[in-house]
Every structure is written in C-alpha cells, then in structure tokens.
Structure 1
C-alpha cells in the first residue's frame, strides 16, 4: 500500500464513530448491588447455564462480547454481606394465616399482604411451582412506588413456603396439586383475607400469576367465582404450547440442580450465579423461603434442602397447562400476557393477539422469573394494565345537545313566568 493510500484510509477511519459500549444486561439488579457475596458455594453444585430456568432458554442470544455466562466479578467493597437474607417485613405490611378443612385435610394457608388504601385495587399474586409468595416481594414494592394506594396479597401455595397441609384422620396421602384444588385454595385465601381484614366488600382485584400461578389465576378467572370484583388478570411467562414442550426437559433440570446447600447464602449465590434469578435483591428475599434446614441432616456440612419436592408435582404437569390458551382467551376481564420472549407464543395465542383480544408485553432481557429479574419494569406494566381496565367512574362534561336542551327549557320557563325565576 502506497503512502497516498495509507493517508486516505486513515482519513476515512478517523471519521468513523467510536465503539458503542455494550449495556449491562440487567439494569435493575445494579441498583441492588449486583455482586454475589462472601458466601461459598460447592463447586460440584454450580450450574452456570441459563437452562436452570427451564422455560427461558432462547430468550437471550449470547455473544462473545456480552460474556453472558461468565462468573461475575465485583469489587471487594461490594461483596460484604451481599448474600445476606432479606426479610418479608421489608416488602409487605404483615403476614396472615387462614385455616380451613378440605377433603379430610387441615390446611393453614400463609400469605403476605399490604392492604390497599381508599379505592385502590388489590393485586393478588400466585407464584410458580417450587417458589413462594416472596417471589413477588420486590415487584410488590415497585407497584406501590407507582401506585401508592394499591394493595398486594401474595400467597404461598400448598406445600410451598409456610403453607402447611395435614391429614385430619391421620391417613398419609400424597400431595394434591390438581389445578382445581389450587384454584379453590386461591379463592379461599382471597375470601379468608377479606374476613381477617374486615372488608365489607372486596376491592377491585387484579390477578397475577407466574408460570404454574398463571394457570391457576386463569382457571379462577374462567370460573367466575370472584364475580364483578375481578377487574383483570395477568399471566407471566407461561403459555400452553411452550410450557408443554418445556416439561420434557424438567427431569433433566431437576437432576442437575443442587439438592443441598451449606447455608442460605450459598443458596442465594447459586440462584444468582446460575442465572435462575438475575436480580440480587429479589434472590435475597425469595430464596430463603424455598429451603428448610434439616434437624438431623444426612450431610451435616450441607443441612439446607428444598422445601418443596418438585418431582412430586410431575404427574400434575399436563393438568396445569393443557387448555390454558383457550381459557386465557375466553375468560372475562382484561387480559395481559407478559413474556420473556415472543418465541413462547403458540398458534392460538398469536392469532388472538393479532385480533386484539389481549395485551402482550415482552421483557427480552429477563429469564423465566420475570417479576424477580426486572421487578420495576414488571410493576410498571402491571400498573399501566390496571389503569387501562379501571372502572372508576369518570366525570365527563355534558354533551352539547344536553346543554342546548337545558337552555331551551330555561328560556321557555322564563317566558311563562314573565322572565322571573321561582
């Protein structure tokens, strides 16, 4: 290359814009201190792939520049206590227990609540399989930042969190996870909450369900047991087609995830570093409720085990999701589908979306746990969704025809009374 050619190339290169920096994948977790802390994690328990969120594969297209699957590195100043647990008291006003007997079982339902004020709505949230009511903790705070008068009721499903089920007659039965059973539980918790809070009537309700919870709230909406008080419902990252497909890989996921942890800190770290939950604050509040410490552990070095045995739910998986798309479309009330990727839409939902039968929002930088990965954005979508479906009567200006008719009547009345008003 001649000197003239080199000078020409340098001149052209100088006019090009500088390299564009690649943004952080999750802007919401940065505010919470994205670091994973000093808690240790057993090397054999670590799974660095995003497939630990069973139905969220394919949402993010990795590149070498993004380095999505590398273990995060953080300044030492950010590591201290960053894996410490957060309590529910930092996210909800109180917890409640609702006792009921059903099918020879004594069920003590547990839920977290921040009551609505004034005429504010009540967002009722139902988590997915293996999670707990604290899966919506971070999102609940964000909802009230935008809509302070809103209330949030977040329950623990049976055999999840602090909800307990005991046999009345002492007979040992396997867990009942039928969709019909879970739907009855949800309605019972709502009615039981109304009684405990001494509400004369229920506030306007927006049902929100993630994964399995999406199937439950859709079934309740379709059943119509909440009547006119059900304003709308939102389903988070589950549709019939992709859910059924994802179930094929659940056995693999369950066989590869850790079965034990040395501490709650190590469990929080695993969820964050394996990208199961991508927001540090949400992981710190929700993960501890997923585990229980064995009194006489088989492995004393790792006494923390899963509270819910997901393998026991296997026989109910198809019952949860078959027919979900049709019920979602046909149930009364406003409808929102919030997904981590449009690849999850099945044919029936694609057609209904093009016909404008429901609202669709996508958060492509989230994993499967949308409300945990990006709680602020999820909250904004939910509040906007409520406002679009709010039935609060509006005071509208009178129509022009009504004004003219009123003026004409006044003129006629004045003529009859000699221009004097009574």
Structure 2
C-alpha cells in the first residue's frame, strides 16, 4: 500500500470499523451512554404511544356511543339553590324539533340503599336512588350486563336495576338478589355495564317512576333529561332545549353535551402527555451529554492512535469523520433500542387496558432522527478536538 493510498483507505467502511473497535475498547461507558439515549427515546415514544392509544380508544367509544347525546339538568337560582325541572320536562324535550328520543332520571332524596337490614342507616356507600323512565337505556345506548331492564310493567313494583359501580359497592354480582331501598326490600332485576357518557348512572340504583313516587310520597321531579338529537342538528337542539323544558325561565336549565367532557379529559391528557414528553426530552439530553462525555474521554485515551494515524498520512478530515462516526453509531444504537423498548411498553400497556395500540409512524422516525442529531451534536466537538491534535504531541503522550 502506497502512502498516497493510506488516507483513502481510512474512509468509508474503515471509518466505521475503527469507530466500532474504538467503542468496543470501552464497553461500559459506551453501553451507559447508549442506555441514556435509549431511555430518553423509549420514554418519549411510550408516552406518545400510550396517549394516542388512549385517544384511539376514546374515538372508538365516541363512534360507538355517538356525540349527539345532550343532557339537561337543574340550574341554580339567584341564591345558588337548585331549581326543580317541571314534571313534563321529558315529554317537552321529546317534542323538541330535531330530538329523536328523550328520557329522564330523578333523584329520590333522603333514601339510601343497603346490602341488607343489618347495615347501619346512613352507610349508603355513595349510591344514589334515582327514578328512571323506561326509555333511559335506549337513549344512553347503555347495555345490561346481567338480568333485564325496567319495563312499564315493573315501574310500580319494588324492582331495582343497579349501575356497575353500585353493584360493586353492594357486593351484588347476580340479579335476583335482594337489597334494601329506604326501608323496603327490592329485587335486583339487572346490573348495567358502565355508561361512559353518563357516569352518574354507574353509582345509581334505578327504580321505576311509580315506585319512586310511592317511596317519596309524591311525584319525583326530573333532575336530568337526556335526549338523542339528529346528528346534523345538535347545535340547534342545544340552543332551544332549555327553552323547551322551561319556557318561562330557560336560564334555570343547564344544557351540556356529555361527549364534550370526554373531549376535555382528552385535552387534559394531552397536556399531561406534553409534560411527560418534556421529561423524556430531558432524559434524551442527559443521554446526549453521556455520549459527548464518552467521546471526549475517548479522544484523551486514544491520543497515540490519533498521532499514529496522522503520521501515516490521515488528514484532519479523516480523524474528524472517524470520531463523528463513533458518536453517530453510539447514538443510533441507543435510538434503535429506545424505539423497540418504547413500542414494547406501549403495546403491553394498551393490551392491559384493552386499548388498540397506536403509535404514529412519524414518532418512530422522529425518534431515530433525534438520536442522530444528538449524536452529531455530541460528537462534533470531540471530533474537532481529535482532528486538531498535533501528531508529534499525540505520539509523545
């Protein structure tokens, strides 16, 4: 090999080979530096992946339940007291133009639910007794997990349907059991599945409107009205629903769209995701500092090697490329490991929560690009320093 051929032979694959051999000579520091990069990338990908998987689950839920459900509830008067809705609220809402169906619930005040008569009065476990119209299940698009829903024929009898959380608190797992509502023994006709768009139903004991009237001693006014609107006319229905229910004082009625609460929750989750991504970025920065530290120490430890290469004819450019290639390889190694770890964490977490795993491909590409950028920045100064080392000084060290 001639002296003129030596520099060219140090380019291309030889640069990578020398870089890999240089890293192999100090495996502990290299592994720790790559691990810092991997943790940062894995944290960022896992956080984004978990967030997008949650959003995918929410989108699927909203597609299934619909965003055309509106809820009207009691407003407050000048003194902050709740204003009762009229007994005809459900009928009036159902006659509103653009409304497909309507249902009501009413809170039966001062009545508790107990597992049996031995439970002390007042120990209600936070379960609310509500009257429910027969159409409630259809309007909320809820499902009965076990048993049956309240029918017109059951409305006057001591029969109760428990929300998912209410059944759990009472320890009732099958229909046919008996619970105490007030001071009367009721038969559990059914247990509902969770109702995402009306979570208050989950902790409720639902009875027929006539049974509620008999229990309270007077008609129970609605405290909530649920309507299903024509999807194309939801804004219009929302604007007129309060006036339809309470023509004289529409300000006493609060109208909301339950899906908006889920959207707000998603927005809060996204803000929290941004915070976690920031923490992942800090871990990534720490990993980049580790790469820079490893490369600086490498320059100090390999001064004789640098001097020998320069003496054999390698230019500053060749030495700079070698050390920069080492930094890029070290960062890429950590980046690939981080991407795989982030994908695995997302898949496992989504499977445990019953979510569809979802990671935007752009996030994976961005993760690898970020590692290369950090590797280039972290290795640039050590590479320049190595290239500037005088051959005679390096050989004497």
Q: Could you state the TM-score of these two structures normalised by the residue count of structure 2?
A: 0.23
Higher gyration radius (CA): 2
TM-score by structure 1 length? 0.22
Higher relative contact order (CA 8 A, sep 6+): 2
